[in-house]
Structure 1
Amino acid sequence: MKIPFFSWLFLITICSLFVNFCIFVVSDQCLHDQRDLLIGLKNSLKFDSALSTKLVHWNESLNCCLWEGVTGSEEGRVIGLNLFNESISGRLHNSSLFSLQYLENLNLAYNKLSSSLVPSQFGNLTNLIYLNLSNAGFEGQIPIEISNLSRLVTLDLSIDIYLSDSMLKIEKPNLATLVQNFGKLEELYLDAVNISAPGNEWCQALSSLAPNLRVLSMINCYLSGPFDSSLSKLRSLSIIHLDGNPFNAPVPEFFANFVNLTSLHLGFCGLNGTFPENVFQILTLQTLDLSNNELLQGALPDAIGNLTMLSRLDLSNCNFSGAIPNSMANLVQLVYLDMSFNSFTGPIPSFSMAKNLTDLDLSHNKLTEIGAF
C-alpha cells in the first residue's frame, strides 16, 4: 500500500518533533557522574550553612544542573560553578572539584580557605575560560600548573589588602613562566600578589605572552620601573590599574597610544618627570587617577575638554601647574574631581554643566577666581 506524499510529510514532522522533545528532556538532566562529583564536593567542604546561599540548597534528589551556582551544558555536563562568598573554609586538595573536567567557568572568590596553598590540581581543569580565586584565602606561591590553562580569557587571583592578610606570590615560577600559555588571556587581575619584578621583566612577559590583554590590574605588586617600551605592543588595553607600585620613573609617551583606554590608575607610584599631555586626548577615557605622585609635573591642555566621557579625575598631591582650561566646563559626565595640592594658577572654570559632580576639591593651589558652579 502506498502512503500519500502529504502523509509522509506529516509523519516526518511528528518524528522530528518527538526527537527534538527527547533531546530536550535528556539535555535538561545532569549526568549521574556529574551529580555525584558535586555531592562529593559538597560533603567534603566546610561551610557555614547559615551564610550559604548555594551549597546549602544542593539536594541529591534534584537535577544538579538546576542547583544554585551550577551551570549545565545541553549534554548534562557541569560547565560552570559559582561558589562566590559561600563561607567555605578548610582545604581543597584532592577534592572532587578537580574531576569536573568540563568546567569552563569557576568562581571561588571571597571564601575563607585560610592558610591554604593554591592546589596544583587547578591545572587539571584545562577547559577553564574564566577562573576567579580572588580573596579566597589562598596564600603562598602560585603553582606552575596554572600555566596549563591555555584557554583562559579571565584570570583573577587578586587580594583586597583591606579584607585579607593572605599573601600570594609569583616568584618561582616567575610571571613569564606563569603566563607562557596565556595567548587567549584578555583580563588579568593580580592585585596585591607579590611579583617583585623590574620593568623590563614584567612588561616583556605580558606583551609577548599575553598579547590580547584588555584589562591589566596589578595594584601593589611590588613592580618597579622604568616602563619598558615592549608594553606599547598591548594595543587592546582598555583598563590599566597599577597603583601602589614603586616605579620611580616617568610615564612614557607611548601611553598615549593606548587609544582604547577607558581607565588609567597610577596613584602612589613615585612617578616623576612630565606627564605626557597626549594622554589627555584619549577620547575613550572615563577615569584617570595620578594621585599622590609628588614629583609628577605637567599641565592640562585645552584638549582635555574633549574627554566628554570622563567621570573621575584625580590629580591630587602632584606637581601640576598652569591654568585650568576653560574647556573643562565641557566635562558634563564628571562625578569626582580632585586636583588639590598642586600649583594650578588663574581662574576656576565653571562646572555648572556637570550636573552629577558630587566631589570637587581644588584646594591648596594658587587659584584666584571662582567660577559659577
Structure 2
Amino acid sequence: MKNLEMKKSRMKNHKIQSTLSSITPQYSKTLLLLRMSLRHNRGKPPNIYNPDEEERKSKYPIANYVSTQGLSKPLKTFTQTLSSYHIPSSVEEALSDPEWAQAMVCLEDERMLLLQLKSILKFNAAASNKLVSWSQSADCCSWGGVTWDVTGHVVSLDLSSEFISGGFNSSSSIFSLQYLQGLNFANNTFNYSQIPSGFGKLGHLIYLNLSSAGFSGQIPIEISRLAKLFTIDFSFYFPGVPTLKLEKPNLRMLVQNLTELRELYLNGVNVLAQGKEWCQALSSSVPNLQVLTLPSCYLSGPLDSSLQKLRSLSSILLDNNNFSALVPEFLANFFSLTQLQLSSCGLYGTFPEKIFQIPTLQVLDLSNKKLLQGSVPEFPQNGSLGTLVLSDTKFSGKVPNSIGNLKRLTRIDLAGCDFSGAIPNSMAGLTQLV
C-alpha cells in the first residue's frame, strides 16, 4: 500500500514538471515568483473603505467625478433640491431650527409617561419653570428640563429647583423611561423621604444628582446596579436635619459595580467608616475616579495608602472628618490634583512641602487644625495656585518672596498662624487677590 502511494506521488510530480517545462521561460519565471512570494497580510482583515480617508489620500477624489448627468429629469431635480438643504450635525442644532424641530417627534408612550409623572408630583406651580410647560397642547420639544434624542426617547431629565415636595416613589412612571441617561432632582424638598428603590430599573443612567433634594435614610442597594454611572451626587448637609446614610449597603457595596464612576459627591452622607475600610473600598472598585468629595461623612483615619491607586484624582475634599493621623506624604503623588481641602479633619504633624509644589494644584485649604505645623516653600514661576488657606494652624517661618510668582492667586488666608517677618513686597503684584 505504501509503495503504491509513493508511485502515485512520483507520477504527480513528473506531471507538474512536464507542465512547467512547456511554459515559455518568461512566464515560467513569473510563475515561480508568484509561487514563492508570501502574503504580507495573511490573517489580517481587509481595509474598510472610508470615504473621508480616501478623499484625504486620493489625488483625484471621487466626489469630483460624481454627476447627475445620467439621471432622469425628475430624479435630477430631486437630488439637486435635496443637496440644497442643510442637515444639522447635532440634536441641539436641529432643535434650534423650527422645521427640523417639528419633524423630530417625541414617542407618544414616553410623552404620556412624563405627563403621568407631572400629575403625581407635588410641586409649586407658581414657582416652577419646567414642569408647568408640560402639557398635551404644547410641543413636547419645548418641555422644560426634557432632552429627547433623534428617535424620540427621553434621554435626560432636569427637574432641579422645581419646588417639588413629594409624589416620587418606586412605582413612579419615571422608572419606565428605559433610555434615560441623566436625571437631576437637586434642590427640591422631598420632606426627608427615602430614595426610591426603583432606580435599579434605569440601567442606562450615566448622571444622577439628588443633592440637597430633601431625601434621608438608607441609600438603596439598587443604586449599585447602575453600572454605567459616571457621576453620583447625594450631597446634603444641614445641621440638625436627618441625612442620608450608608450602612446596609455600606460604601463598599454601593460602589462594587460602578467601575465607570468618575465623580463621587457624598457631602454630609453618614458613611461612618475607618480609613482602611473606605480607602480600600474606593481603590478596588472605582479605579478611574477623578472627583472624591466626602466632607462631614463621619470618616476616621488614618488615610490608607491604597488610596494612592486612584491615580486620576483631581479633587479631594475631606473636610470636617476626624482622621486623627499624620498627613500622608503620598498625597504629593497625585500629579493631576487641582483641589485639596482638608480643613477641620483632625490631621496633625508636619505638612509635606511637596504637596505645595504639585504643578496642577489650584486650591489648598488646611484651615482649623491647631496641631498641624509646617512652613511655606519657595514657589516656582507661573504656579497654578489660586486659593491658599492656612488659617488657624501652626504654620510658621517667613512667607517667601516667591509667593509673588502665584499670579493666579485670588484668595490667601494666613490668619491665626505663627508666621514671622515682613509681608513680601512681591505680593503687591498679585493683582487677582480679592
- CA offset at residue 91 of structure 1? 3.5
Structure 1 contact 111–135 (Cα < 8 Å) conserved: yes
Q: 1:65 to 1:28 in 2, by over 3 A?
A: same
Aligned to 1:50: 126
Question: Aligned pair 1:66/2:142, yes or no?
Answer: yes
1:101 corresponds, among 159, 174, 178, to 178
CA distance in 1, matches of 2:388, 2:103: 50
Q: 1:33 to 1:26 in 2, by over 3 A?
A: farther
1:181 corresponds, among 257, 266, 276, to 257
Q: How many residues align?
A: 352
> Structure 2 unaligned runs (5+)?
1-67, 89-98
Q: 1:233 corresponds to which letter in structure 2?
A: K
2:335 corresponds, among 232, 256, 259, to 259
Question: Aligned pair 1:13/2:90, yes or no?
Answer: no
Aligned to 1:118: 195
CA distance in 2, matches of 1:161, 1:89: 17
Question: Aligned pair 1:220/2:292, yes or no?
Answer: no
Segment drifting more, 338-347 vs 39-48: 338-347
Aligned to 1:141: 218
Aligned to 1:230: 306
2:412 corresponds, among 323, 333, 337, to 337
Partner of 1:117, secondary structure, is: coil
Aligned to 1:325: 400
Segment drifting more, 344-353 vs 74-83: 344-353
Aligned to 1:127: 204
Normalising by structure 2, we get a TM-score of: 0.77
- CA offset at residue 251 of structure 1? 1.4
Structure 1 contact 281–307 (Cα < 8 Å) conserved: no
Structure 1 contact 291–316 (Cα < 8 Å) conserved: yes
CA distance in 2, matches of 1:127, 1:15: 39
Segment drifting more, 87-96 vs 189-198: 87-96
Partner of 1:294, secondary structure, is: strand
CA distance in 2, matches of 1:4, 1:231: 68
Q: 1:328 corresponds to which letter in structure 2?
A: I
CA distance in 2, matches of 1:239, 1:106: 23
Aligned to 1:362: none
Aligned to 1:290: 366
Q: 1:356 corresponds to which letter in structure 2?
A: Q
Aligned to 2:155: 79
Of structures 1 and 2, the larger Rg is shown by: 2
1:343-368: per-residue Cα shift (whole Å, max 9, x none)? 1122221211111212xxxxxxxxxx
Partner of 2:132, secondary structure, is: helix
Q: 1:247 to 1:70 in 2, by over 3 A?
A: same
Q: 1:322 to 1:75 in 2, by over 3 A?
A: same
> Structure 1 unaligned runs (5+)?
359-373
Structure 1 contact 283–307 (Cα < 8 Å) conserved: no
Partner of 1:337, secondary structure, is: strand
- CA offset at residue 190 of structure 1? 0.2
Alignment of 1:142-161 (within 5 A): 142-161=219-238
Partner of 2:284, secondary structure, is: helix
CA distance in 2, matches of 1:232, 1:12: 62
Partner of 1:208, secondary structure, is: helix
- CA offset at residue 27 of structure 1? 6.2
- CA offset at residue 305 of structure 1? 4.2
Aligned to 2:430: 354
Structure 2 contact 237–243 (Cα < 8 Å) conserved: no
Partner of 2:147, secondary structure, is: strand
1:133-166: per-residue Cα shift (whole Å, max 9, x none)? 001111000000000111010100001426x823
Q: 1:306 to 1:318 in 2, by over 3 A?
A: farther
- CA offset at residue 322 of structure 1? 1.6
Tell me the C-alpha RMSD between the 2 structures: 2.1
Structure 1 contact 186–213 (Cα < 8 Å) conserved: yes
Give the % identical residues.
53
- CA offset at residue 14 of structure 1? 6.2
Aligned to 2:58: none
Aligned to 1:89: 165
Q: 2:72 corresponds to which letter in structure 1?
A: S
